[in-house]
């Protein structure tokens, strides 16, 4: 699975001022008559853009109008050194119009602004405008380049078995997040993250109105639907489905506390029947909690903020739009959780 260490060498020029960055960008665009020894466009840009690191002071993001969810996710992604390492290697768009429409490039500019700026918070207006042009939703914002998508892609095998003739079909599918229900099949509240994971991979009986057409039987029959985990990425995103529909079709939020472990071993949580992979793949299925996006309020009106564990200090920080402060790791109202391999954090932490 290629889960390498999150520790990367920091650029010597990470503290360049914004004016220096713009000058470097102009130099990148004018490649006339340069010697072979001159660094390529991407290599020179890499010298300019640093990676997220709280040793350079945490920078907030201004809320420019209902952008708390966007701000929270941006802070999590830009604090992930695996993510920023890929982001810094993207191909720079050649024209100004292409730059303004490139989501990865605008994220790169925002990252540099956060690293070089001296202010308490920066404005994500250019990136927000770029996202609106492409009608990109928050959960899709960082997965335009394939390399970024691969960092978060989970692979599963889906099985469908006819209960009358035992005819079986299977297919491979992928997802960016594991959408975990907080209710079991009997609508009872699940109280731990492990219970939610086990419930997600439990077989489901499709009967009554949910019956499927069986090609062998030539009619609709009861089916058993199940999924087996095949591959976990460098960073695993778990989405807790706190919003659900009542019989009246209105949206309701499940606000009960759900326990989060600091360390998560998928081998210990899932059974052999719920996994479809070899031993070498499963050996890397151990993760540590890196970040949580939490939601406060009701289903109709609320607010998002991010709790992120610093890789350099191993302390937890709350990113609440423009405000950033250190907090304890006991997170309530968890909504989306991000998990990384143990070597993502320094060994002494």
Mean pLDDT of 159-184: 92
> What residues have CB less than 8 Å from 11, skipping those under 6 apart?
46, 47, 48, 49, 50, 51
pLDDT score of 202: 93
| pLDDT in the model for residue 34 | 38
Is 244 annotated as catalytic?
Answer: no
Give long-range contacts, CB 8 A cutoff, 24+ apart: 55-58: 55/312, 55/313, 56/14, 56/15, 56/115, 58/317, 58/319, 58/324
Per-residue pLDDT, 186: 82
pLDDT of residue 8: 33
* 130 among known catalytic residues: no
Distance CA 93, CA 100 (A): 9
Quote the CA–CA distance of 304 and 298 in Å, as a whole number.
11
Catalytic choice (68, 142, 196, 275): 68
pLDDT band at 200 (very low <50, low <70, confident <90, very high): very high
- Whole-angstrom distance, CA of residue 286 vs CA of residue 266: 7
Taking only the tens place, the pLDDT of each residue in 264-289 is: 999 999 999 999 888 889 999 999 99
Least confident stretch, 25-39, 104-118, 184-198, 244-258: 25-39
Percent of the chain with pLDDT over 90: 43
- Residue 132: what pLDDT? 86
H/E segment holding residue 80: none
φ, ψ for residue 10 (rounded to 5)? -85, 140
Q: Choose the catalytic residue: 231, 239, 252, 303.
A: 303
Tens digits of residue pLDDT in 40-62: 433 433 333 333 445 456 799 99
* pLDDT score recorded for residue 30: 40
Determine the pLDDT at residue 330.
59
pTM of the model: 0.77
């Amino acid at each position: 699975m290629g889960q390498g260490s999150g520790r990367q060498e920091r650029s010597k020029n990470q503290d360049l001022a914004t004016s220096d960055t713009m000058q470097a960008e102009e130099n990148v665009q004018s490649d006339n008559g340069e010697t072979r020894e001159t660094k390529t466009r991407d290599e020179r840009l890499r010298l300019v853009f640093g990676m997220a690191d709280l040793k350079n002071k945490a920078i907030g993001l201004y809320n420019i109008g209902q952008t708390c969810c966007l701000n929270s996710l941006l802070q999590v992604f830009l604090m992930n050194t695996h993510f920023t390492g890929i982001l810094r290697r993207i191909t720079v768009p050649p024209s100004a119009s292409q730059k303004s429409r490139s989501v990865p490039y605008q994220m790169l500019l925002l990252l540099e602004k956060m690293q070089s700026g001296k202010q308490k918070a920066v404005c994500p207006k250019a990136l927000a405008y770029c996202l609106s042009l492409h009608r990109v939703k928050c959960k899709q914002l960082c997965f335009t380049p394939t390399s970024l998508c691969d960092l978060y892609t989970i692979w599963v095998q889906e099985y469908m078995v006819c209960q009358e003739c035992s005819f079986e079909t299977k297919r491979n599918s992928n997802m960016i997040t594991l959408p975990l229900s907080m209710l079991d099949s009997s609508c009872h509240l699940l109280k731990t993250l492990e219970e939610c994971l086990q419930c997600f991979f439990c077989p489901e009986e499709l009967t009554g109105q949910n019956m499927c057409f069986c090609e062998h039987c030539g009619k609709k029959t009861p089916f058993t639907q199940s999924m087996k985990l095949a591959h976990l990425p460098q960073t695993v995103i778990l989405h807790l489905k706190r919003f659900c529909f009542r019989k009246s079709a209105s949206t309701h939020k499940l606000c009960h506390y759900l326990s989060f472990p600091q360390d998560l071993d998928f081998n210990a949580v899932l059974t052999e029947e719920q996994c479809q992979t070899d031993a070498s793949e499963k050996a890397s299925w151990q993760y540590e909690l890196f970040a949580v996006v939490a939601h406060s309020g009701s289903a109709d009106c609320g607010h998002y903020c991010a709790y992120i564990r610093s890789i350099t200090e191993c302390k937890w920080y709350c990113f609440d739009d423009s405000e950033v402060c250190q907090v304890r790791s006991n997170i309530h109202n968890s909504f989306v959780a991000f998990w990384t391999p143990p070597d993502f954090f320094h060994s002494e932490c």
